[in-house]
């Protein structure tokens, strides 16, 4: 399968051209859709690479690793060149760095800070006190594919965690809605019971008020009858008193006349 065999310049050029064709592999998004599209693009790149030219068959992981090494080496070259331009103490003119736009457009070269030393650049001090920078070969460049795998795994774990959290939220929301529905039914039932009790109490109060009103009216009527009876009795008593007074007056008059008669007779 060609494992461990160094890549020729022709293979590197072919991989660079295929990445330019399927540029989606350099998409920085890490959502599930983008990851799926990038994986499909890498499969196409690997198939097209193995179907072209006379070179060993490479796996998807090997092709992807080669491309990452190409980018890393190019970044190291740019960084070393910038460090050489910033050296102090004079010295020979630094040769102009050859442009490689096919790789530079994907290597984030514009983001490099002048004067910074890339982790893939080896720096040594010469006997005359100057600095020398050298880049690692393809076989010695750190494998950034491990970082891609870790990033992919972390993204999947985050996505699974997010889905689990989302499912928990959905379950919690359903339980809260069900609990709210039960509380609402209980509240509605309690309100209905209270309204029914108030309605019954209102009817009882109205009936009681009616009975009290009838009782008061009966008492008033009885008092009126009693007053009428007392008035009649009073009138009768007054008539009897008048009659007795008249009789007494007549008796007095009779006695007076008798006394006068007796007096005249004597």
Give the pLDDT confidence of 65-97 residue by residue, as tens digits: 999 999 999 998 888 888 887 775 556 777 888
User: CA 39, CA 54: separation in Å to the nearest integer?
Assistant: 25
Name residue, tokens 């100057």: 130
DSSP string, 171-235: HHHHHHHHHHHHHHHHHHHHHHHHHHHHHHHHHHHHHHHHHHHHHHHHHHHHHHHHHHHHHHHHH
User: CA 129, CA 127: separation in Å to the nearest integer?
Assistant: 5
Q: pLDDT at position 159, please? A: 62
Looking at per-residue pLDDT, the higher value among 190 and 88 belongs to 190
Residue 37 above 70 pLDDT? yes
Q: pLDDT at position 131, please? A: 42
- Percent residues over pLDDT 90 in the chain: 26
Q: pLDDT at position 53, please? A: 77
- Percent residues over pLDDT 70 in the chain: 74
Task: Tokens for 234, please give them.
Answer: 């009073």
Please report how the helices 9-21 and 60-85 are oriented relative to each other, as an axis angle in degrees rounded to 10: 100
Name residue, tokens 């010469």: 126
Task: Tokens for 206, please give them.
Answer: 């109205």
φ, ψ at 123 (rounded to 5°): -110, 130
Contact (Cβ atoms closer than 8 angstroms) between residue 81 and residue 96: no
In this structure, the number of other CB atoms found within 10 A of the CB of residue 112 comes to: 14
Contact (Cβ atoms closer than 8 angstroms) between residue 114 and residue 124: no
Residue 50 above 80 pLDDT? yes
Q: pLDDT at position 65, please? A: 94
Segments of the chain assigned E as strands: 121-125, 131-135
Nearest residue to 22 (alpha-carbon basis) of 7, 11, 38, 8: 38
Rg (CA), the chain: 60
Nearest residue to 71 (alpha-carbon basis) of 82, 61, 81, 79: 79
Give the pLDDT confidence of 126-159 residue by residue, as tens digits: 444 344 444 444 444 444 445 554 565 566 566 6
CA neighbours within 13 Å on the CB side: how many for 99?
Answer: 2
Task: Tokens for 198, please give them.
Answer: 């108030």
Q: How far is CA 101 from CA 20, 84, 110, 140, in A?
A: 11, 21, 12, 24
């Amino acid at each position: 399968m060609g494992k461990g065999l160094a890549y020729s310049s022709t293979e590197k050029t072919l991989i660079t051209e295929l990445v330019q064709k399927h540029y989606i592999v350099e998409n920085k998004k890490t959502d599930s859709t983008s990851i799926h599209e990038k994986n499909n693009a890498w499969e196409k790149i690997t198939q097209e690479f193995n179907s072209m030219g006379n070179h060993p068959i490479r796996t998807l992981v090997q092709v992807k690793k080669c491309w990452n090494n190409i980018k890393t080496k190019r970044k190291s070259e740019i960084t070393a060149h910038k460090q050489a331009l910033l050296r102090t103490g004079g010295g020979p003119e630094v040769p102009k760095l050859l442009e490689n736009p096919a790789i530079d457009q994907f290597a984030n070269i514009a983001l490099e800070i002048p004067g910074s030393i890339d982790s893939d650049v080896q720096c040594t001090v010469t006997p005359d006190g100057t600095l020398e920078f050298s880049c690692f070969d393809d076989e010695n460049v750190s494998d950034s594919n491990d970082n891609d795998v870790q990033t992919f795994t972390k993204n999947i774990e985050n996505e699974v965690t997010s889905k689990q959290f989302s499912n928990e939220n959905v379950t919690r929301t359903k339980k809260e809605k069900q609990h709210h529905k039960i509380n609402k039914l209980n509240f509605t039932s309690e309100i209905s019971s209270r309204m029914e009790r108030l309605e019954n109490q209102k009817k009882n109060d109205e009936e009681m008020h009616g009975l009290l009103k009838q009782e008061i009216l009966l008492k008033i009527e009885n008092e009126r009858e009693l007053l009428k009876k007392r008035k009649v009795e009073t009138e009768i008593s007054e008539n009897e008193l008048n009659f007795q007074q008249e009789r007494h007056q007549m008796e007095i008059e009779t006695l007076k006349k008798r006394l006068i008669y007796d007096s005249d007779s004597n």
